[in-house]
């Protein structure tokens, strides 16, 4: 049973507006509190898989470069990448997805990741807080994305829209 994380938030804007923000990698430092830097060759993104570099801001800041990481690039719908620790698939692999669902009021943005490999299972088994830290980062990013796309400043914390999320152990295959 491999661990997974899934979060979602409703954004009052059409999917193409959300897509424009999540694919504008140069602007991530301007608004994204979790993935503070991401770079890739946007022109090559349609030639899958293509390389990707990202830096997260977590308790332990890290910068990872993944060769041939972008696995799915469907404009206004789905961006997915796969990252492997030390390039070894059986050690630790993360499968990350941004999925945009059109709704009557705009877009439901879903961000998820599932993990595979021996280290992923060991970290889950020993109760590592890595998954909770990552989920918190997803939630921060989702809220910042909503605010960026909707073009509004931070609301009163007491009035913040709840972010639906889950951390669960699923038996997911390494797709």
**Domains of the chain and any CATH numbers:** 2-152+160-170 (3.30.530.20)
153 is written with which tokens? 């400043």
In the chain, what is the straight-line distance between the N-terminal and C-terminal CA atoms, in Å? 15
Q: What pLDDT does 170 receive?
A: 38
Q: What pLDDT does 124 receive?
A: 77
pLDDT by 10s per residue, the chain, length 175:
678 999 999 999 999 999 999 988 888 889 998 887 777 665 555 555 555 666 666 544 555 555 557 888 899 999 988 888 777 788 888 899 999 999 999 999 999 999 899 988 888 788 778 888 889 999 999 999 999 999 954 444 433 444 443 333 333 334 4
The H or E element that residue 135 is part of is: helix 130-150
Q: What pLDDT does 131 receive?
A: 83
CA pair distance 128, 118, nearest whole angstrom: 14
Q: What pLDDT does 59 receive?
A: 44
Q: What pLDDT does 55 receive?
A: 62
Judged by DSSP in three states, 160 sits in coil
């Amino acid at each position: 049973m491999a661990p997974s994380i899934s979060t979602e938030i409703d954004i009052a804007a059409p999917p193409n507006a959300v897509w424009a923000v999540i694919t504008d990698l140069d602007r991530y430092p301007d608004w994204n509190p979790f993935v503070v830097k991401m770079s890739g060759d946007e022109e090559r993104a349609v030639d899958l898989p293509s390389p990707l570099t990202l830096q997260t801001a977590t308790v332990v800041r890290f910068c990872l470069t993944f060769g041939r990481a972008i696995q799915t690039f469907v404009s206004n719908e789905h961006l997915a990448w796969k990252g492997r620790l030390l390039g070894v698939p059986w050690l630790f692999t993360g499968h990350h997805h941004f999925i945009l669902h059109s709704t009557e009021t705009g877009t439901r943005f879903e961000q998820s990741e599932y993990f595979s490999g021996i280290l992923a299972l060991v970290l889950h088994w020993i109760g590592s807080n890595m998954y909770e830290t990552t989920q918190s980062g997803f939630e921060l990013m989702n809220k910042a994305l909503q605010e960026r796309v909707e073009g509004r400043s931070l609301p009163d914390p007491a009035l913040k829209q709840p972010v639906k999320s889950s951390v669960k152990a699923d038996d997911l295959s390494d797709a």
